[in-house]
Structure 1
Amino acid sequence: GSRYHRRPGSMGPVAPNRVFKNKRLAGRMGGNRITIQNLEIVRVDAERNVILIKGNVPGAKKSLITIKSAVKAK
């Protein structure tokens, strides 16, 4: 089967009778909102429906992003 599902396997050794701190367990993943401020808009091409931004934009390809004025100025 797939080795990439987050399901518990062995929780740890029997002798200490406890689960160690920082044991990786299943939990919520993804769905986080990330904010990047003060990215420079290089060019807006309305004909091709493209905005060129200088810097990294978080998120997957073809995902929706929200662009608004920065709260903290440079």
Structure 2
Amino acid sequence: MINLYTWATPNGRKISIMLEELGVDYTVSPVDLGKLAQFSPAFTAISPNNKIPAIVDNGAEGAPIAIFESGAILTYL
């Protein structure tokens, strides 16, 4: 299962479109940019540059994998 951390921006939408096209199971966790949620310690642990989108792949072998930046996420997927 992939957790997608995103907001309603063009880069944020790219990842959900790709996940839908691939038929991958995922959940969405909104990161409210208007409330500066991208600077919360919990989100910074996933995306150190404080930008959306970010994903955490819990289905990978071993520990969960966190990936940030839309280009890197698309390449991973």
Normalising to structure 2: TM-score of the pair?
A: 0.20
Structure with the greater alpha carbon radius of gyration: 1
Higher relative contact order (CA closer than 8 Å, sequence separation 6+):
2
Normalising to structure 1: TM-score of the pair?
A: 0.21
User: In proportion to residue count, which structure has more strand?
Assistant: 2
User: In proportion to residue count, which structure has more helix?
Assistant: 2
